[in-house]
Structure 1
Amino acid sequence: MSPSRDTGFPRADAEHDFLRARRRQVLSRLAKWLRGEPDDVNIMLPFSEVVDALGYQGERRIGARVIRLDSIVGSVDRGRDFDRRFRPTSARVRERWERLALATRRGEHIPPIEVYRVGELHFIIDGHHRVSVAHALGLSTIEAQVTDVRTKLDPSGIRFRGDLIVKDYRRLFLERVPLTGQARAAVLVSDPWDYAKLGEHVEAWGFRLMQDEGAFLDRARVAQRWHDEEFVPVVDMLRQADLIGDRTEAEAYLWVAGERYRLIRTHRWDDEVIEAVRTRGR
């Protein structure tokens, strides 16, 4: 964003700053509609939904930091007054907004904002107007009091509200199938519902395993054995048979496992199964 204009009349400049920010918000909303983009493109991420999707583990206050404005993606409770880029969505916030813009232009002390940090993302607890003004004035950083929040899942990959659905289903999947290390990183799908189907599949595999061995295995042990004894060998077979394509390994595994049972009614894996899927299931 280019720096705001300075006419030498701070009060008039602050008024122009607000009108310019509102105009940009309206134009952005119009452009989104013309491009047919989803509704969540310009909506702030709600902190509570993000933490629920990722799984809250704990928090600690780490104090004053200088953070990048573009790392602030959401809010604890004020999402309706500003869009994703903290442009005002109505004239409701104008009086306070212009007062802060005027103080900033005059070089007055502005208290730091307060934020939660989740990974590399920040969510405003207090200071929405200050962030909006900083964006409008072309700044790139802002002072903040930061509380770091730890979650079960890595928040990387979250851009829009719709991304939270995938994270939420993945968190539930990993509670049912508690993979760790490389195994955890390897099992990924893009359709959130596939996590539910894969979780059921692994639990059924684990039940058959316990029946065969006549012993109880906890979820962690079932998850590890499924990955080592089922997932990895089958993915190797699929890769050799050129059946992965543009899917993730887990998506290819889930698809072929379903086709295997539909076509030849078996839970085994061998060359006959792969050939049947190749010739009749594609």
Structure 2
Amino acid sequence: MTPAKDTGFPRADAEHDFLRARRRQVLSRLANWLRREPDDVNIMLPFDEVVEALGYQGERRIGLRVIRLDSIVGSVDRGHDFDRRFRPTSGRVRERWERLALAARRGEALPPIEVYRVGELHFIIDGHHRVSVALAMGLSTVDAYVTEVRTKLTPSGIRYRGDLIVKDYRRLFLDRVPLTGQARASIVLSDPWHYAMLGEHVEAWGFRLMQDEGTFLDRATVASRWYADEYQPVVEMLRQADLVGDRTEAEAYMWVAGERYRLIRTHRWDDDVIEALRSHRR
């Protein structure tokens, strides 16, 4: 962001800073509307919803740190006073905002804010006005008291509020199918409902396996066996048959597993199945 201009009149500059930030927020909303972008593209990520989707595990205070302003993506509250880039959404915050901007214009340092850290993302507990002013001043970092929150899933891939649905379903899937390591990372689906469908598919596969072997297997064992004995061989066949296409491998597996059963009513994999699927795709 371009640094705010200094005319030598701090109070007037602070007033202009606020008006400029408001104007940018309004223009951003208009641009989003013209581009028909999702409604949540300019809304702060709500901390509680993010942590719920990722699965809360614990937290610890790590003290005062310098953090990048562009790593602050959400808030514990005050989700309506500022947009995703901490531009004021109304004149309601103007008095306090301009008071902080005036102090900054006079050379006073902004007090540290307080944030939660989830992965590499930060969520404001206290300091929304200070972040807004810092961004308007063209700063890139801010002092913050940080509390680190540990979650089952990483927040990678979360850009908008709608992305939380996918994370939530993925977390539930991994609770049902506790894959680890590379196996865990390789299962990627873009449709959140497909995680639920795949979870049921793996559980059904595990039930058939236990019937065949006449013994009980826990979820971790079923997940490991399914990935090694079912998923990987099938994906390899799909690659060789050029049936993955522009989907992820997990999406290709989901598609072909459903088509396999619909076409020939079987749970087995062989060359005849692959040929039937290839012919059906044509």
Give the alignment's TM-score, normalised by structure 1: 0.99
Report the counterpart of residue 182 of structure 1 in structure 2. 182
SS of residue paired to 1:148: strand
Question: d(CA) in 2 for partners of 1:196 and 1:216?
Answer: 23
Question: d(CA) in 1 for partners of 2:20 and 2:110?
Answer: 22
Report the counterpart of residue 79 of structure 1 in structure 2. 79
Question: d(CA) in 2 for partners of 1:182 and 1:37?
Answer: 34
How much has 1:105 moved relative to structure 2?
1.0
Question: d(CA) in 2 for partners of 1:243 and 1:109?
Answer: 59
Question: d(CA) in 2 for partners of 1:182 and 1:28?
Answer: 40
SS of residue paired to 1:63: strand
Report the counterpart of residue 48 of structure 2 in structure 1. 48
1:20 aligns with 2:3: no
Report the counterpart of residue 65 of structure 2 in structure 1. 65
Deviations 1:164-222 (A, max 9, x none): 11100100000000000010011111111110110000000000000111100010000
Counterpart mapping for 1:81-120 below 5 A: 81-120=81-120
Question: d(CA) in 1 for partners of 2:36 and 2:110?
Answer: 39
SS of residue paired to 1:86: coil
How much has 1:106 moved relative to structure 2?
1.0
Counterpart mapping for 1:196-207 below 5 A: 196-207=196-207
Report the counterpart of residue 139 of structure 1 in structure 2. 139
Q: Quick check: 1:24–1:87 contact (8 Å CA) kept in 2?
A: yes
Question: d(CA) in 1 for partners of 2:193 and 2:255?
Answer: 13
Question: d(CA) in 1 for partners of 2:91 and 2:175?
Answer: 45
Question: d(CA) in 2 for partners of 1:263 and 1:110?
Answer: 66
SS of residue paired to 2:173: helix
Question: d(CA) in 1 for partners of 2:23 and 2:111?
Answer: 27
How much has 1:279 moved relative to structure 2?
0.4
Give, as a single letter, the amino acid of the residue that structure 2 aligns with 1:114.
Answer: E
Deviations 1:235-267 (A, max 9, x none): 011111110011111111111010010000000
Report the counterpart of residue 244 of structure 1 in structure 2. 244
SS of residue paired to 2:8: coil
Q: Quick check: 1:235–1:249 contact (8 Å CA) kept in 2?
A: yes
Report the counterpart of residue 220 of structure 1 in structure 2. 220
Question: d(CA) in 1 for partners of 2:199 and 2:281?
Answer: 23
Question: d(CA) in 2 for partners of 1:102 and 1:52?
Answer: 38
Q: Quick check: 1:259–1:281 contact (8 Å CA) kept in 2?
A: no
SS of residue paired to 1:104: helix
User: Superposition RMSD on alpha carbons, in Å?
Assistant: 0.7
Question: d(CA) in 1 for partners of 2:239 and 2:38?
Answer: 35
Give the alignment's TM-score, normalised by structure 2: 0.99
How much has 1:150 moved relative to structure 2?
0.5
Q: List runs of 5+ in structure 2 lacking aligned partners.
A: none
Question: d(CA) in 1 for partners of 2:57 and 2:94?
Answer: 38
Deviations 1:29-88 (A, max 9, x none): 011111111111100000000000000000000000010000000000111000000000
Aligned residues: 282
SS of residue paired to 1:267: coil
Question: d(CA) in 1 for partners of 2:81 and 2:125?
Answer: 14
Give, as a single letter, the amino acid of the residue that structure 2 aligns with 1:122.
Answer: H
How much has 1:110 moved relative to structure 2?
2.5
How much has 1:146 moved relative to structure 2?
0.3
SS of residue paired to 1:147: strand
Q: List runs of 5+ in structure 1 lacking aligned partners.
A: none
SS of residue paired to 2:81: coil
The runs of at least 4 consecutive aligned structure 1 residues that moved more than 4 Å come to none
SS of residue paired to 2:63: strand
Question: d(CA) in 1 for partners of 2:96 and 2:62?
Answer: 29
Report the counterpart of residue 32 of structure 1 in structure 2. 32
Moved more, 255-264 or 102-111: 102-111
How much has 1:109 moved relative to structure 2?
3.7
Give, as a single letter, the amino acid of the residue that structure 1 aligns with 2:32.
Answer: K
How much has 1:281 moved relative to structure 2?
4.2
Give, as a single letter, the amino acid of the residue that structure 2 aligns with 1:163.
Answer: D
Question: d(CA) in 1 for partners of 2:35 and 2:58?
Answer: 40
